[in-house]
Amino acid sequence: MDSLSFQSVRELSAMLVSRRLSARELLDACLAQIDRLNPALNAIVTLDREGAYANADAVDARRAQGLPTSPLAGLPIAIKDLEPVRGMRTTMGSPIFKDWVPDFDSIMIERFRSHGLTILGKTNTPEFGLGSQTFNAVFGATKNPWDTSKTCGGSSGGAAVAVASGMLPFADGSDMGGSLRNPANFCGAVGLRPSPGRVPTYPTLNLWGTMGVLGPIARTAEDAAWLLSVQAGDDPRVAIGRCGDPTVFREPLDRDFKGTRIAWSPTLGGLPVEKSVRNALKKSLSRFEALGAIIEEAEPDLSIADDAFQVQRALHLVSSLGVHYRERRHLLKDTAVWNIEQGLKLTGEQVAAAQAAQSKCFERMQRFLTRYDYLICPVNQVLPFDVTTPYPTAIDGTALGSYLDWMKSACRITATSHPAASAPVAFADNGLPVGMQIVGHFGAERDVLQLAHAVQLPLSERIPTQARGSH
């Protein structure tokens, strides 16, 4: 725990600002951890040592001259390989883009650069971020740091593995059907899906879209909040959402939860959930009760969320990947082809019904949270499965219909547009991490992070064995 690889972001920032630690020294530590662990885990798929050291040295020079710097300047980060970074190979996990080098930055990368973060490379993701199992034809599979025979989840799988194993203090990710929450859950980290509009997305094909959002992954809720303080904020190029002052996310997360009303749903409307997951989460309720919170078993009616999510997702894929389907279908994986074809079959009536259902999901969650402060439920319905398995086809004997069905516990929350985090609260009997999904009021990301901060297991219990003892 005295290793730089597992210091909190707040501590690292204080050391950097006071010049007790240089940005170059911190980069040295991260790269040493990457060199030691990444060959087995495959979390970082593109590495720019030269550019990273140039940024670290520039930050150190500014501080040596007494020039103003962001409190996050010099902190290393690697970018999910869906996000365009100027001058850095960005493959999207697809053979179609295996050699693409963008000549522009997204909004988020612009912000990282303006704050002086050290961008050292890219983290692995499934092809076009589709599915919560991180493997692709360009770079192969990313392994779970707790058991390399298991998946790390996805689609922000490389990010979660890099953070959990101490390669990075935090990482960015994106989430449509659980892609921030699912890998954080499988790796024993914190992943936050913000409310749509909290983190601006640009460029994007749909400026009005609410399904896919950007957010942070980190080892602790506080570290995730620090990254969110840079990701969030207003921008005139986006169409939805206004954030206000994002520096509030760097304030301490401590809070009194005595009397807080929390609804607990073990299956989120009767979904199949592995017994091992149910048992671990049930035991973890004691962590919430120890806060003085009032726990009641209850859930909103999200029975219409599945169709709303599936239709909106398929429609998005037609918009974003339709041209590749028409021109390069042979280079797309089977599940991508299937999902695009589902979108091509949609009628106007189906799309209209799905949009209405998504609105109803939002309204139902809003009404439900007038009676409760939070909803807690499973992040994933299964434990990490074999890394060679594309996706589960059954849960405890219940057959599943598509590659998305084992993720419905996350997808249903997406359909409500409410912020949700995976908080590492338990371990299953086989030693693999299990997270609790914490859902809060719309726009209340800080409240969600506060509860995650209060119930997360101590970091000392959440460092994979092979990641310890590095520096």
pLDDT at 242: 73
> Would residue 179 show up in a list of annotated catalytic residues for this protein?
yes
Q: Which of 5, 13, 22, 155 is catalytic?
A: 155
Percent of the chain with pLDDT over 90: 97
Q: Where are the alpha helices (DSSP H) in 136-274?
A: 157-164, 181-187, 221-231
466: confidence class by pLDDT, cuts 50, 70, 90: confident
pLDDT at 468: 83
Dig out the tokens for 189 from the structure: 């980290």
Q: Using CA atoms, how far apart are residues 180 and 410, in angstroms rounded to an integer?
A: 10
* Strands 261-264 and 147-151, bridge-based pairing: unpaired
Based on the number of CB atoms within 10 Å of its own CB, is 326 exposed (0-12), middle (13-18) or buried (19 or more)? exposed
pLDDT at 471: 41
Residues 6+ apart with CB under 8 A from 390: 131, 133, 135, 335, 403
pLDDT digits (tens, 9 = 90+) for 246-272: 999 999 999 999 999 999 999 999 999
Q: How many Å is the Cα radius of gyration of the chain?
A: 21
Whether the per-residue pLDDT at 308 is higher than 80: the answer is: yes
Dig out the tokens for 375 from the structure: 């909803």
Whether the per-residue pLDDT at 1 is higher than 50: the answer is: no
Q: Which of 13, 80, 165, 409 is catalytic?
A: 80
Q: Using CA atoms, how far apart are residues 457 and 426, in angstroms rounded to an integer?
A: 7
Q: Which of 5, 156, 165, 179 is catalytic?
A: 179
DSSP assignment letter at 165: T
Dihedral in degrees, nearest 10, Cα atoms 357, 362, 365, 367 = -100
Q: Using CA atoms, how far apart are residues 138 and 16, in angstroms rounded to an integer?
A: 36
Q: Using CA atoms, how far apart are residues 162 and 160, in angstroms rounded to an integer?
A: 6
Q: Per-residue pLDDT averaged across 426-435, rounded?
A: 98
pLDDT at 241: 78
Q: Using CA atoms, how far apart are residues 115 and 359, in angstroms rounded to an integer?
A: 36
Using omega within 30 degrees of 0 as the cis cutoff, is the peptide bond preceding 169 cis? no
Dig out the tokens for 304 from the structure: 């219409």
pLDDT digits (tens, 9 = 90+) for 121-170: 999 999 999 999 999 999 999 999 999 999 999 999 999 999 999 999 99
Q: Using CA atoms, how far apart are residues 58 and 62, in angstroms rounded to an integer?
A: 6
Average predicted confidence (pLDDT) for the chain: 97
- The residue among 404, 385, 335, 333 whose CA lies nearest residue 138 is 333
Q: Using CA atoms, how far apart are residues 241 and 234, in angstroms rounded to an integer?
A: 8
User: Tokens 């790269």 map to which residue?
Assistant: 31
Q: Using CA atoms, how far apart are residues 448 and 184, in angstroms rounded to an integer?
A: 15
pLDDT digits (tens, 9 = 90+) for 9-58: 999 999 999 999 999 999 999 999 999 999 999 999 999 999 999 999 99
Q: Per-residue pLDDT averaged across 192-200, rounded?
A: 96
> Would residue 80 show up in a list of annotated catalytic residues for this protein?
yes
H or E stretch covering 426: strand 420-427
Q: What is the DSSP string of 289-357?
A: HTTT-EEEE-----TTHHHHHHHHHHHHHHHHHHHHHHHHGGGS-HHHHHHHHHHHT--HHHHHHHHHH
Q: Using CA atoms, how far apart are residues 155 and 378, in angstroms rounded to an integer?
A: 18
352-to-196, 209, 240, 356, 466 alpha-carbon distances in Å:
20, 15, 20, 6, 50
> Would residue 286 show up in a list of annotated catalytic residues for this protein?
no
pLDDT at 465: 86
443-to-233, 244, 325, 413, 462 alpha-carbon distances in Å:
13, 11, 36, 14, 29
Based on the number of CB atoms within 10 Å of its own CB, is 430 exposed (0-12), middle (13-18) or buried (19 or more)? exposed
Q: Using CA atoms, how far apart are residues 207 and 146, in angstroms rounded to an integer?
A: 38
Domains and CATH numbers, the chain: 4-250+382-391+408-467 (3.90.1300.10)
pLDDT digits (tens, 9 = 90+) for 349-399: 999 999 999 999 999 999 999 999 999 999 999 999 999 999 999 999 999
